[in-house]
Amino acid sequence: MKRAVICVSILFYSLFAADLSRWARPDHIPTPKNNPLTKEKMELGRLLFFDPRLSRDDTVSCASCHIPYYYWTDRVPKAVGIEGRKGTRNTPTIINSAYLKTLFWDARADSLEQQALGPIEAKAEMDLSAGRLVKKLKNIKGYVTLFEKAFPERGITKETIAEAIASFERTVVSGESPFDRWVRGDEGAISEEAKEGFEIFTGKGHCKSCHNGFNFTNESLNNIALGDDDPGAYILNNNPIWKGSFKTPTLRNVAETSPYFHDGSVHTLEEAVYICGNGGRYKDLKGRSPFFRDRSLSIEEVRRVVRFLETLTEERPKIFEPEKFPK
């Protein structure tokens, strides 16, 4: 009898432990074979990320929108670029983008290398063509030397610029949050309400069918019935089933990164969770993802899920602007 109890509790424990291990930090940061991480590339990438000279009129850097203090977002509904030009989408965080297989809200880039020049060339962001960017950097002696060191025999090209920026981004990984301590066995790290919220998140709410794993996303594309007219992933392949579909975002630090969704249309985490737990903003919208159903979460349940999501907040990032830029 005693042995049976032990067996059952081992079984129970291992099932439970197995369930939590899916949320644990992966052992390594994935890096492509053709762009291994080196200290030189990471440091050069950091300079490039913060340097406003990567924009046409020297006013906008990557960090103008991906602001470290705001967990690498900008806290406005839609991004604002060069000359105050307004973009059409909300700025996502770059934290943990190293773990993503697809980038942008509509998943149109397959790697950080492929993504990096996009915002530099975009008219509403930094508005500088890759050709002119290469010329501009070649005129800055300090950069010529740093590129020679980081990319011997290759120097400054649009590819090496992208590789350096991508290498820096791979170092922007989320730090430890109370949730991570709880996953590792520290029972007191999060409140009882947060634990109940996690149960709703993984159970009744079915949130984990999309927000899964260490980075809380399986990167699936879904239309969550927000009802705006952004085509989302539809523009990639013109297949109407993707109309209004967007990539599932990470939920790391989500309590600190409002406004929410691709259009920045929601300002409180409560409202965002309410929408996600109740079949979207317009439940009857044609084209809503079949995986995104009405789970009838009550206001009280939403509150608990929010308490849980708050445990995904790490300490405010401490990487700030480099003290000086190459001359």
Q: Which residues bind ligand HEC (CB under 6 A)?
A: 49, 60, 62, 64-66, 79, 81, 87, 89, 91-92, 94, 97, 100, 103-106, 112, 115-116, 119-120, 125-126, 165, 169, 201, 205-207, 209-211, 220, 222, 224, 226, 246, 248-249, 251, 254, 257, 260-262, 272-273, 276-277, 289, 291-292, 295, 297, 305
Query: How many alpha carbons fall within 13 Å on the CB side of residue 171?
Result: 21
User: Residue 137 or 226: which CB sits closer to ligand HEC?
Assistant: 226
User: Residue 9 or 218: which CB sits closer to ligand HEC?
Assistant: 218
* Tokens matching residue 168: 């820096």
Shortest Å, Cβ 17 to ligand HEC = 23
Shortest Å, Cβ 88 to ligand HEC = 7
* Tokens matching residue 306: 């929010």
User: Residue 3 or 138: which CB sits closer to ligand HEC?
Assistant: 138
Shortest Å, Cβ 134 to ligand HEC = 14
Query: How many alpha carbons fall within 13 Å on the CB side of residue 150?
Result: 32
Shortest Å, Cβ 195 to ligand HEC = 15
- Name residues whose C-beta falls within 8 Å of residue 249's C-beta, 6 or more positions apart in sequence: 92, 217
CA distance 85 to 224: 28
User: Residue 151 or 167: which CB sits closer to ligand HEC?
Assistant: 167
Shortest Å, Cβ 48 to ligand HEC = 7
Cis before residue 326, ω within 30 degrees of 0? no
User: Residue 9 or 239: which CB sits closer to ligand HEC?
Assistant: 239
Shortest Å, Cβ 238 to ligand HEC = 17
Whether 67 and 253 have beta carbons less than 8 Å apart is answered as no
Residue 84: other Cβ atoms inside 10 A: 8
Residue 37's nearest CA partner among 164, 215, 173, 172 is 164
Whether 90 and 226 have beta carbons less than 8 Å apart is answered as no
* Tokens matching residue 154: 């290759």
User: Residue 87 or 326: which CB sits closer to ligand HEC?
Assistant: 87
> What sign does the dihedral 263-267-272-278 (CA atoms) show?
negative
